[in-house]
Structure 1
Amino acid sequence: MTARLSLTTLPAGQRPIAEPDRIGIVHLGLGAFHRAHQAVFTEQAAIITGETGWGISGVSQRSATVREQLAPQDGLYSVLTRGPGDPTVRVMGSIREVLTAPEDPGAVVARIADPAVSVVTLTVTEKGYRAAVQGGLDLTDPEIQADLAGRAPRTVVGQLAAGLVRRGESGAGPLTVLSCDNLVANGPFLRRLMEDYVRALPEAKNLIEQLEIARFPASMVDRIVPATTDADREEAAGLLGVRDEAVVVAEPFLQWVIEDDFAGARPAWDKAGAILTGDVAPWEQAKLRMLNATHSMLAYLGALRGYETIAEAVRDEQLAGLANELMTADVIPTLTPPEGLDLTAYGQSVLERFANPALKHRTAQVAMDGSVKLPVRLLGTIRDRLAANAEPRLAALAVAAWMVYVAGGVDANGNPLKLDDPQAARLQETLADAGITPGHRSGGAAVQRGSAAGSGIALGAAPAAVVGALLGVESIFGEDLRDNAVFRGLLVDQVGGLTE
C-alpha cells in the first residue's frame, strides 16, 4: 500500500520549499478553495522573501474532515493543477495547524487573539456570514442568538468578536480581517455585520474600541477549484509517490486583488502576484457579474440538459453562445472596467477556462446555494439594466433556469436534481403552497433545442405560476424585483421557453 504523505515519507524533491516556522494568519473556512488560493500565495511569498513567520492556522467551521486529512500529513497537502498540458502537482506547507470550531471554539478565539497573528482571512461562502435580507446581520438566526447569549462562539462573527475582545484585554494590537468570499464590497460588508453584532451585545466597550482600529479591506479572488474525486487522489499519488488524502484540484489561472488597507504587518502577497489597489470594486464587479454569473447560468442550463460538468455545458454551442451573450449584452454595459482590463477579452477568457475538460467542475456543485448566489451574481446586473430602461433578457434567462431547476426537480433525462440550498425548505414550501410539485419531465426527446435553451422539463404548472411563487421570495428578490412588471414578464417568457 502506498505510504501516506508526510514530512518523513515525502521524497526530498517534492518537499515544500517553505515551511513557515510560526503562525501569523488565522483562516476561517478551511476548504479546498483556500488551500488552492490564499495558502498558495502565502507559501509563494515566503519562498520569494524568505519570511517564514506567516504560517496559517486553518479553522474548519463544520466538521473535522479537513483536520483528519491534514493532521496525519504534518499539515502538508498537494495542489493538482490541470491545464491544457499534462497535470502538475506541488506540495504545500503553509498550513501549520488545523482547528475544528464545533469541537473547540475556545481554541479558535485564543488563536485569533494571539499577538503573533495580525491577519484573519475568511472563505466561509456567502451563507456563512448569516446576513439578513437587507444586508445586515440576521439577529434572528439561532446560532447568532446563541453566540450573543454568551456561549463559546460558533459563528464567524461571534468568533471574530470574541477574539477582538481578548486582543483588547491583552494589548495584542489591531487586526486585519480580510474576507475572500464572492460578495459585493466584502470587507465593508463584514465590518457592518460586526457592528450589528456589537450593537446587540449588552456590554461591548472593549469590542467597539477594537473595531475602530481593525481594518476590513475588500478583496477579489479568482481560481476554479472543483471538488476532488478519488481519481484525482490516485493521479496525485502517482505523481508524488505517496498518498495525499487532502489533495485539491485547480486550474492554472490564479488571481487575487486586495484593497491596500492593513492594520499591521502582512505577508508579501504582492511579491507572489497579488494586486494591491486602492479600489477593488471594478475588479470585483467584473468578476462577480461576468465569471460568477456566467458560471451560475451554465450550471443551471447545463444541469437541466443533463450535463454533469461545466466543461460539457460550455462545449454545447448554444449554451456557450448564451453565456457569451449574457456578458456582452447585459453585463458589460453595467461595468466600469479597471485600468488594463479589456472586458470583451476577459469574457472570452472566462469561457475558455470553463471549457477546460480536465477540471470536471460539476454543474451540481456550482448550482448549490442559489438563493444566496443569485443576488450577488445576477440581480445587480438586472437592477442596473432595468434602471437604464433596458430589458436584461439573458440575465433573466439565468434566473429562469434556476427557477426551473428548483421547481422541476429533474433534468431532461428524468434524473433528480438535488436542491442544496440554505433556503431549500422555504423554496419547497413556497412551491407547494402554489400547487407545484417538483419531479416532472416531458415524454418527448431527452433534450429539446427548439427554444433558447429548452430542457424538455414539464413543471406541472403554468410558467406564470412558477415565476409568481419564486419571485415572491423577498429574501432573494426583494420587493423591487418582485413588483417589476418587465422583469416578471421576461421570467415568464424564459421559463416557458425552458419547458414545454
Structure 2
Amino acid sequence: MSEIRTPIVQFGTSRFLQAHADLFFSEAAIPRAVTVAQSSGDAARAGRLAALALPEGYPVRVRGLQDGKQMDAETRVTSVKRTLSTATDWADLARIFCTEAEVVISNTGDAGYLPRPADLDASPSQGMSFPAKLFHLLAARFAAGAEPLLVMPMELVPENGKVLKARLLEIGAGNGADPALLAWITALPFANSLVDRIVSEPLEPAGAVAEPYALWAIEAAPGVVAPCDHPAVQIVQDLEEIERLKLHILNLGHTALVDFWRGTGARDGALVRELMAGPEGVALLALYQAEVLPGFAHKGRGAEAQAYLATTVDRFANPFLDHRISDIAQNHGQKAERRIAAFLDWVGPEGPALPELHAILKRARA
C-alpha cells in the first residue's frame, strides 16, 4: 500500500490544534491528511507525538451547552497520518514540504514568532525560531521549483499572516537571501485568521476536552481558500467584524462579570458558570439587553450580535468548564479599557446612552 500524501503540514502539537484544526480536517466533507511537525523538539512529548498518528486516531471529547442543551460526546480524530520533529527529522520534513504540502498551518504559542540568535544562520538548526525554520523550508521548496503554497498561521497575533510574512522577509534579508526567493515569498498568500475554542484539558497520551463552540475565521484575500469544508471554518471579508463581536460581547461580558462579582462580595474560588446562575448573571444579561445589543444595533449589527450573544451565554454557563472569575479579574483595568472604553468609543456619543457601562469603566479606573 502506497504511503498517504499529506497536503496539510502543521507546526505545533498543542491540545488546541488537536481539538480544533485537526478535528475539522477529520470531520470535513472531504477529509484532509496532515503531517504534524513538532517544532519545539521537546523529547518529553514524544509519546504525544507518536499517539497523534495512531491508525485508530485520538479522542476529542466535546462537552458543554449547544443551543441551550447539554452535550457530552466523544469523537476520534484520524486526520494526522504522520508526525515528525524538526530536531530529528529535518530531511524527511523538507522532502514532504517540497513534494506534498499545499497548505501550512501553525500554532506555536505566544513566543512562536520571537527572534532567536540562530535565526540568521546559513543552515537550519533546532535553535531557530519557527519563522526561521519555515524560511528554510520555503527556500528548499523554491529551489526545488515546486508550486507556491498557502500559509495559514493560527497564533493569537493580530494580522498573524501579515506579521509572519514580514518576519520571514526580515530573516531572508538578514541572511542575504536571493532576491528572487524573497520575491517568491512576497507573492505567496499568507492568510490572516482568528481562532476561538476553549480546550479545557488534555487527554493522555493524545486528545483533549473542548467546548462545543469553535471558530476558524479566515480573512478573504487573493489566493486564500478554506483549508477544508467544515461549518467552523469561515472565509470572511473583514476579521475586524468578528474580532469586535468577540471583544465587545464575550470579553466585555467577562469584564462586566468581574465588576458585578466584586460588587456582591467577591467570594473566592467563584466560577463563571456559578456566577451566571446567580445575581451577577442576571445583571450581566440585563446589561447585554439594555446597552450592549443596542450599541451593536446602532452600528447596524444588531442581528449578528444577538446570535453571537446566545452562543456566548451558553459558553459562560458550560457546566463542565471550571473557569475561575479570579483569573479573568487579573489586569482588570487594562481589560476594561480595551473591552468597554473601546466599545463606548465605537458606539460614539450619537449612539444610545450606556450608563451602566460608563459606571463599570469608572470603577475599573478608580
TM-score, normalized by length of structure 1? Answer: 0.57
Q: Is the 8 A contact 2:260 2:280 kept in 1?
A: no
Q: Is the 8 A contact 2:260 2:283 kept in 1?
A: no
Closer/same/farther in 2, CA of residues 181 and 326 from structure 1, 3 Å limit:
farther
Partner Cα separation in structure 2 for residue 63 and residue 396 of structure 1? 48
Closer/same/farther in 2, CA of residues 360 and 191 from structure 1, 3 Å limit:
same
Closer/same/farther in 2, CA of residues 361 and 339 from structure 1, 3 Å limit:
same
Structure 1 match to 2:315 = 353
Q: How large is the Cα RMSD of the aligned pairs?
A: 4.2
Structure 2 match to 1:147 = 119
Q: How does 1:127-206 map to 2 (within 5 A)?
A: 127-130=111-114, 141=115, 143=116, 145-150=117-122, 152=125, 154-206=128-180
Partner Cα separation in structure 2 for residue 62 and residue 295 of structure 1? 36
Q: How does 1:3-22 map to 2 (within 5 A)?
A: 21-22=4-5
Partner Cα separation in structure 1 for residue 341 and residue 12 of structure 2? 30
Closer/same/farther in 2, CA of residues 339 and 380 from structure 1, 3 Å limit:
closer
Q: Is the 8 A contact 2:60 2:76 kept in 1?
A: yes
Query: Which residue of 70, 75, 82 maps to 1:90?
Result: 75
Partner Cα separation in structure 2 for residue 194 and residue 338 of structure 1? 39
CA-CA distance at 1:331 after TM superposition: 9.0
User: Could you say what secondary structure the match of 1:346 adopts?
Assistant: helix
Structure 2 match to 1:61 = 40
Gaps of 5+ in 1: 1-19, 131-140, 234-243, 398-451, 453-486
The answer to whether residue 302 in structure 2 is matched with residue 318 in structure 1 is: no
Partner Cα separation in structure 1 for residue 357 and residue 39 of structure 2? 34
The answer to whether residue 249 in structure 2 is matched with residue 270 in structure 1 is: no
The answer to whether residue 21 in structure 2 is matched with residue 38 in structure 1 is: yes
Partner Cα separation in structure 1 for residue 92 and residue 189 of structure 2? 20
Structure 1 match to 2:61 = 80
Partner letter of residue 220 of structure 1?
A: L
Q: Is the 8 A contact 1:225 1:251 kept in 2?
A: yes
Partner Cα separation in structure 2 for residue 195 and residue 294 of structure 1? 39
Q: Is the 8 A contact 2:296 2:305 kept in 1?
A: no
Cα displacement string for residues 292-324 of structure 1 (whole angstroms, at most 9, x for unaligned residues):
454566589879642364323433432663587
Structure 2 match to 1:120 = 104
Closer/same/farther in 2, CA of residues 274 and 207 from structure 1, 3 Å limit:
same
Partner Cα separation in structure 2 for residue 23 and residue 158 of structure 1? 22
Q: Is the 8 A contact 2:249 2:292 kept in 1?
A: no
Structure 1 match to 2:217 = 257
CA-CA distance at 1:215 after TM superposition: 0.7
Structure 2 match to 1:428 = none
Partner Cα separation in structure 2 for residue 77 and residue 109 of structure 1? 22
User: Could you say what secondary structure the match of 2:229 adopts?
Assistant: helix
Partner letter of residue 25 of structure 1?
A: I
Closer/same/farther in 2, CA of residues 123 and 495 from structure 1, 3 Å limit:
same
Higher-strand-fraction structure: 2
User: Could you say what secondary structure the match of 2:235 adopts?
Assistant: strand
Structure 2 match to 1:23 = 6
Partner letter of residue 257 of structure 1?
A: A
Q: Is the 8 A contact 1:302 1:310 kept in 2?
A: no
Partner letter of residue 322 of structure 2?
A: K
Partner Cα separation in structure 2 for residue 67 and residue 302 of structure 1? 43
Structure 1 match to 2:183 = 209
Gaps of 5+ in 2: none
Closer/same/farther in 2, CA of residues 214 and 331 from structure 1, 3 Å limit:
farther
Cα displacement string for residues 56-106 of structure 1 (whole angstroms, at most 9, x for unaligned residues):
3243537345441241564431011113445211111112233444x3483
Closer/same/farther in 2, CA of residues 21 and 335 from structure 1, 3 Å limit:
farther
Q: Is the 8 A contact 1:43 1:94 kept in 2?
A: yes
Partner Cα separation in structure 2 for residue 395 and residue 63 of structure 1? 46
Q: How does 1:424-463 map to 2 (within 5 A)?
A: none
Between 269-278 and 318-327, report the one with greater CA deviation: 318-327
Closer/same/farther in 2, CA of residues 350 and 104 from structure 1, 3 Å limit:
same
Partner Cα separation in structure 2 for residue 336 and residue 200 of structure 1? 48
Residue identity over aligned pairs, in percent, reads 23
Closer/same/farther in 2, CA of residues 349 and 25 from structure 1, 3 Å limit:
same
Q: Is the 8 A contact 2:165 2:186 kept in 1?
A: no
Aligned residues: 349
TM-score, normalized by length of structure 2? Answer: 0.75
Q: Using CA pairs under 8 Å that are at least 6 residues apart, name the structure with larger relative contact order, 1 or 2.
A: 2
Partner letter of residue 21 of structure 1?
A: I
Partner Cα separation in structure 1 for residue 240 and residue 137 of structure 2? 28
User: Could you say what secondary structure the match of 1:209 adopts?
Assistant: helix
Structure 2 match to 1:464 = none
Cα displacement string for residues 87-139 of structure 1 (whole angstroms, at most 9, x for unaligned residues):
211111112233444x3483696267332111111223444333xxxxxxxxx
Structure 2 match to 1:287 = 246
Q: How does 1:216-235 map to 2 (within 5 A)?
A: 216-228=190-202
Partner letter of residue 282 of structure 1?
A: E
User: Could you say what secondary structure the match of 1:342 adopts?
Assistant: helix
